[in-house]
């Protein structure tokens, strides 16, 4: 007899293999594809704080790198302003900005994409000239790599 499990997004009890995915070696089941997609947007919003704490205690990191191509070139001063602001976010491990390229690496156990997007918008507003929207669009349309520790993430 299969016991029910909770959908991590909505809390509904579901069959263990319903809309199942494996994330960081843990199986999650969902009541619908909508809840599954919501989870996949930012899984760490839904993972129990205990799981996050265990990963941090074990020195585990979920490092994501986003490479963004900008429609306009950043001046050296604008690039420096972005780098300094992004480096202040807990979990951001590396930032490089030059001309039409911006790259950010961060531990998603310590920060979220939303926090980074918010900081990009804040800095873009300070820079002016439409940069808030340019940075937001670049952040949405990015190339991403994800690693757990030193291994590629596999679902």
Distance, CA of 96 to CA of 59 (rounded, Å): 25
Total count of residues recorded for the chain: 155
Q: Which residue has the higher pLDDT, 105 or 48?
A: 105
Question: Does residue 57 sit within a domain?
Answer: no
Q: What share of the chain is helix, strand, coil (3-state, %, to 5)?
A: 35, 30, 30
pLDDT at res. 154: 39
User: pLDDT digit string (tens) for 64-89?
Assistant: 889 999 989 999 999 999 999 999 99
User: pLDDT digit string (tens) for 15-57?
Assistant: 999 999 998 888 899 999 999 998 998 887 777 554 556 566 6
Question: Does residue 54 sit within a domain?
Answer: no
| Same domain, residue pair 114 and 69 | yes
User: pLDDT digit string (tens) for 35-45?
Assistant: 999 899 888 77
pLDDT at res. 55: 61
User: pLDDT digit string (tens) for 134-153?
Assistant: 998 888 888 655 555 444 44
Question: Does residue 82 sit within a domain?
Answer: yes
Q: Which residues contact 82 (CB under 8 A, 6 or more apart)?
A: 74, 95, 97, 102, 120, 123, 135
pLDDT at res. 43: 83
Distance, CA of 119 to CA of 115 (rounded, Å): 6
pLDDT at res. 80: 95
Counting beta carbons within 10 angstroms of the beta carbon of residue 85, is it exposed (0 to 12), middle (13 to 18) or buried (19 or more)? Answer: middle
pLDDT at 155 over 50: no
pLDDT at 91 over 90: no
Q: Which residue has the higher pLDDT, 12 or 45?
A: 12
| Same domain, residue pair 21 and 77 | no
Give the pTM. Answer: 0.58
Q: Which residues contact 108 (CB under 8 A, 6 or more apart)?
A: 42, 44, 62, 63, 64, 91, 146
Question: Does residue 52 sit within a domain?
Answer: no
**78: containing domain:** 62-152
**Bridge partners for 147 per DSSP:** 63, 152
Distances (CA, A) of 18 to 36, 41, 52: 10, 19, 24
Question: Does residue 40 sit within a domain?
Answer: yes
Number of independent structural domains in the chain: 2
């Amino acid at each position: 007899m299969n016991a029910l499990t909770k959908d991590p997004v909505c809390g509904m009890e579901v069959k263990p293999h319903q809309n199942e995915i494996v994330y960081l070696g843990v199986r999650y089941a969902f009541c619908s594809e909508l809840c599954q997609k919501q989870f996949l947007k930012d899984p760490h919003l839904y993972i129990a704080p205990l799981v996050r704490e265990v990963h941090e205690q074990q020195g585990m990191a979920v490092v994501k790198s986003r490479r963004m191509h900008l429609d306009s070139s950043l001046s050296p001063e604008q690039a420096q302003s972005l780098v300094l602001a992004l480096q202040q976010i807990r979990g951001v491990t590396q930032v490089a900005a030059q001309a039409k390229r911006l790259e950010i690496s961060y531990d998603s156990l310590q920060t979220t994409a939303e926090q980074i997007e918010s900081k990009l918008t804040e800095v873009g507003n300070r820079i002016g000239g439409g940069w808030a929207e340019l940075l937001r669009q670049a952040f949405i349309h990015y190339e991403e790599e994800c690693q757990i520790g030193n291994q590629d993430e596999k679902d």
